[in-house]
Structure formats: C-alpha cells, structure tokens
Amino acid sequence: MNSKNHHKGKLLSSRIEGLRDLAPQDRLNRVGAAAGLGAADIEALSGAGVLDPGTADAMIENVIGTFELPMGVATNFIVNGREVLVPMAVEEPSVVAAASHMAKIARSCGGFIVQSTAPIMRAQIQILELGDVAKARAQLLSQEAALVAQANACDPVLVELGGGCRGIEVHIFETSPIGPMAVLHLLVDVRDAMGANAVNSMAETLAPMVEEITGGKVRLRILSNLADKRLVNARVELPFAALDTKTLNGRDVAQGIVEACTLALIDPYRAATHNKGIMNGIDPVVLATGNDWRAIEAGAHAFAARSGQYRALTTWELADGDTLVGTLEMPMAVGIVGGATRTHPAAQAALRLMNISSAQELGEICAAVGLAQNMAALKALATEGIQKGHMALHARNIAITAGAKGPDVERVARMLVHNGEINVTAAKAILAAG
C-alpha cells in the first residue's frame, strides 16, 4: 500500500458511548480522535468542500457539480480481533444504527472472523469463427506458459508488487445463437487494486496472439465481475443469551433467524430482498472508500445464482445446542489504489479511519458489515417486524418533508414516534400546532 494512504495509529476501541447524542461536528471530532486522524482527514470526512470542482471534473465527464450523501460511522466492530470504526455513505435510515447494534452484540462474543482468498480477477477473451472448439481449447492450453508470460510483460509493475497473471482457463460453448465459441480466461492476481484496468489491458494485449494460436476471431476482451476466485467468508457465533430481549428468550430469537433465513435459501423472491439487506451494509462502505459498488453488486448477485437458482448469500444455523452461527460468502473485488480511491480525499480519509493496509483487509471489513446488517434484518423480521425500528429512524425524514427545520426536526420526530403515527400528514399537524 502507498505510504501516503497508510495510517499507523491504533484504534483502542470502536465502542464510543453516546455518539448518537452528539452534534455532527462533535461526533466527527470524537471519531477522529479515537482513530488518531489529523485535521485534514477530519475535514475530508465532513464532506464540506472536499471534492473541488477541478478534481471532480477530472474524475468523470461533463461535470456540473458534486452530489452528496450522508456519511455515518458504524461503531462497535471487531473484525479478526481488531477494533474498527466503519465509514458508511448511505441515504437510508436505520442502516448505520442496525450495523452498529449488531456489532455491539457480536463484540462480546469475539466479533466477526473473516477470511479471504487471493485477489484473483478474471479477464475474458471471446473467440469466434472456430471450426473445432475442443481443438482450440487444446491449442490454448498448450500455450499457457507463453500466454501468461505475454500477459505479465504488459504490466511489469504489478508483477514487481507480487501480482500478475497466474494461469488460464478455457471455456467452450459448442452451440450458441452465433455458432460455437471458446472463451479464454486470464486469472490475474491484482494485489491491492480492484483490477479492472489491469486485466482489461492484458486481455487486449493478448488478442492477436490468441487469434494466431486458434485461427479464430477475437471479439470481446474484458474483465468478468463474477470474481468467484476473489472471495470473502465472514462468520459470527453468538450464544443464545446474547440475543435475549426484554420480552423474548434468545433461543426463540435464534430459531426465528434460522427460519427466516431458510426461506431465502429456497425462494428467490425472498432471496432478492434478503441479499439486498446484506448489500445495505456493504455498499455504503464500498462507496465511502471510492470503490465500484456496481461491480460488487453484480458479482454478489451472480454468485448467489451460481447453482442455477438465486439463493441467499448467508446461512444461519443452530450449533452446539446453544449457539447461533452465521456465515456470509461472496466475491469482494475492492481496491485501495487507483480510481476514485486514490483521487477522492474523503475516500482516502475513510481508508485511514479504518487503518486499512490491504485490499483484502478492506474486503473483509465489508463482509463483516454485510453479515451484521443481515443479522439485524433477520432479527427484526423474526421478532417485532422490520417497520417498527426503521420507521422510528425514518421519522426525521418525515419531519423534514413536512417542512420542519432546525430544532423542530427532532421535536416533530419524537412526537411522531411517541404517537405511533409516522407520516407527513401527522407531522404537518404537529408543526401547525406549534
């Protein structure tokens, strides 16, 4: 990792008491102090004038300004034994609160344990006009060493960093609407990058060589976002007692979570919503760090359907008589170098807030947050229902929509929740009554 990005401070605890009761600037100061951030990073995380027009104009085309989302911090996380404060850029109420609450439950049980594989990405080279696809496959495999060497020759810096093309696969399709075809996959270790540019460049460089070997015609030369060799696996184990509520026994809560998850394992209609809840946690971290959340979404949903049926990305099971075990496995193609991660000051500050030292570590934290978010959703569904907590946190948005400003926002929100009627009409009535 670039030393400019690396933050050497040590977070003593991600548990910050009373954070939600502070004003935004006071929260930022507390978080910054806990993580040992400098003034520049604290200012960057505030979002106030961070992305100047010149930098924004250089990032994408036809820039007319910038678009902001609220930046929150999920507290209480312990990932692989390390305390972590997690920046989350998201517009939906209850996401940050839910992740923080589940992390608080998990931290007393050791937090989240996450493992990840090497950062291997795939590039695909589509080969058409082949008389014999099986022969073409054999020809390509016989030239694997030469193909790998040629791929690595076009990115010596990546090779110097310990990455590079590791090998090839050849997938054949005997029939298709346009005839038989072969698809060469380059398997590339992209180190701390997301990797799209590296693998795309390799694929384009190898196209003439592939045509010469096979006698076919190359069409597509591009990465796959189904990064099924770049996986994270997150796990949490909770004794039933950790799930006790004022009105429910933890064993019953755990059983309810397992039953709720089971529907998502067998029914794609439920699985879509189940997995969306997981991404509620992951996407905000990906966005806050300047990564490509569309790539993560595409990979996640494709992976969820790899068996031929779209299924839940998590499993929840009862183990050892008194323990609830949750696991999440999915692709995680995130980077800490290149793209917006390198150019956006707030993305850089977000990485330093988490004290990230590798792309794999960032992916592991994303997975832990996704599992926490899933646990929160299933726990709510298995007990009081999803709307009670969500709508209570949504009350502030309702108050603003009704015209509340300043201190009135909190006052109206509190009354909406107290009255149990959370809608714009009720909020307007409260404002009119003064």
What does the pLDDT look like over 326-370, one tens digit per residue?
A: 999 999 999 999 888 989 999 999 999 999 999 999 999 999 999
Q: Are 7 and 352 in contact (CB under 8 A)?
A: yes
User: Is the predicted pLDDT of residue 401 greater than 70, yes or no?
Assistant: yes
Domains and CATH numbers, the chain: 19-117+230-384 (3.90.770.10), 120-224 (3.30.70.420), 389-433 (no CATH)
Choice among 104, 135, 217, 276 that is catalytic: 276
292 is catalytic: yes
Structure tokens at 148: 């790998």
Predicted pLDDT of residue 316: 98
Q: Which residues contact 339 (CB under 8 A, 6 or more apart)?
A: 194, 290, 291, 292
Predicted pLDDT of residue 6: 43
In this prediction, residue 201 has a pLDDT band, given cuts at 50, 70 and 90, of very high
Instruction: Please give the share of the chain, as a percent, with pLDDT higher than 70.
Output: 96
In this prediction, residue 274 has a pLDDT band, given cuts at 50, 70 and 90, of very high
In degrees, rounded to 5, the angle at the alpha carbon of residue 77 between the alpha carbons of residues 342 and 105 is 155
Q: Are 353 and 18 in contact (CB under 8 A)?
A: no
Choice among 7, 301, 390, 394 that is catalytic: 390
Enumerate the β-bridge partners of residue 122.
187, 224
Query: Within the chain, what is the greatest distance between any pair of CA atoms?
Result: 81
User: Is the predicted pLDDT of residue 2 greater than 50, yes or no?
Assistant: no
User: Is the predicted pLDDT of residue 394 greater than 80, yes or no?
Assistant: no
Higher pLDDT, 126 or 341: 126
C-alpha dist (Å) from residue 309 to 159, 165, 260, 272, 301: 38, 31, 18, 11, 11
For the residues 276-295, what does the mean pLDDT come to? Answer: 98
User: Is the predicted pLDDT of residue 80 greater than 50, yes or no?
Assistant: yes
Tokens 């509520």 locate to 245
Predicted pLDDT of residue 392: 60
Predicted pLDDT of residue 389: 56
Q: How many CB atoms lie within 10 A of CB 397?
A: 18
Pairwise CA distance, residues 228 & 423, whole Å: 44
The letter for the amino acid at 15 is R
Q: Are 311 and 271 in contact (CB under 8 A)?
A: yes
Enumerate the β-bridge partners of residue 11.
none
Q: What string of H, E and C letters represents the secondary structure of 328-361? A: EEEECCCCCECHHHHHCHHHHHHHHHHCCCCHHH
For the residues 72-93, what does the mean pLDDT come to? Answer: 97
Q: What are phi and psi of 374, to 5 degrees?
A: -65, -40
Predicted pLDDT of residue 272: 98
State pLDDT tens for residues 419-434. 878 888 888 888 888 7
State pLDDT tens for residues 209-219. 999 999 999 99
Predicted pLDDT of residue 133: 97
276 is catalytic: yes
User: Is the predicted pLDDT of residue 407 greater than 50, yes or no?
Assistant: yes
104 is catalytic: no
Q: Which helix (H) or strand (E) is 115 found in, with range?
A: strand 113-116
State pLDDT tens for residues 217-273. 999 999 999 999 999 999 999 999 999 988 889 999 999 999 999 999 999 999 999
State pLDDT tens for residues 142-188. 999 999 999 999 999 999 999 999 999 999 999 999 999 999 999 99
Rg for the chain, CA atoms, rounded? 24
Q: What is the mean pLDDT of the chain?
A: 93
DSSP of 54-103: HHHHHHSSS--------EEEEEEEEETTEEEEEEEE--STTHHHHHHHHH
How close are the terminal C-alpha atoms of the chain, in Å? Answer: 55
301 is catalytic: no
- How buried is residue 37: exposed, middle or buried, by Cβ count under 10 Å (0-12/13-18/19+)? buried
Predicted pLDDT of residue 410: 81
Query: Which of 20-29, 91-100, 149-158, 376-385 is predicted with the least confidence, judged by mean pLDDT?
Result: 376-385
Q: Return the DSSP state at 76.
A: E
Q: Return the DSSP state at 112.
A: B
- 3-state secondary structure at position 180: coil
Q: Do you know the residue count of the chain?
A: 434
Tokens 């998850």 locate to 261
State pLDDT tens for residues 292-339. 999 999 999 999 999 999 999 999 999 988 999 999 999 999 999 988
Choice among 92, 132, 267, 317 that is catalytic: 92
Predicted pLDDT of residue 105: 97
Q: Are 96 and 88 in contact (CB under 8 A)?
A: yes
Pairwise CA distance, residues 142 & 184, whole Å: 13
Q: Are 150 and 80 in contact (CB under 8 A)?
A: no
Higher pLDDT, 280 or 52: 280
- 3-state secondary structure at position 232: strand
User: Is the predicted pLDDT of residue 10 greater than 80, yes or no?
Assistant: no
- 3-state secondary structure at position 226: coil
Choice among 43, 292, 361, 364 that is catalytic: 292
Q: Are 301 and 195 in contact (CB under 8 A)?
A: no
Predicted pLDDT of residue 4: 38
C-alpha dist (Å) from residue 56 to 64, 340, 361: 9, 10, 28
Tokens 């597509």 locate to 220
User: Is the predicted pLDDT of residue 5 greater than 60, yes or no?
Assistant: no
Pairwise CA distance, residues 231 & 332, whole Å: 6
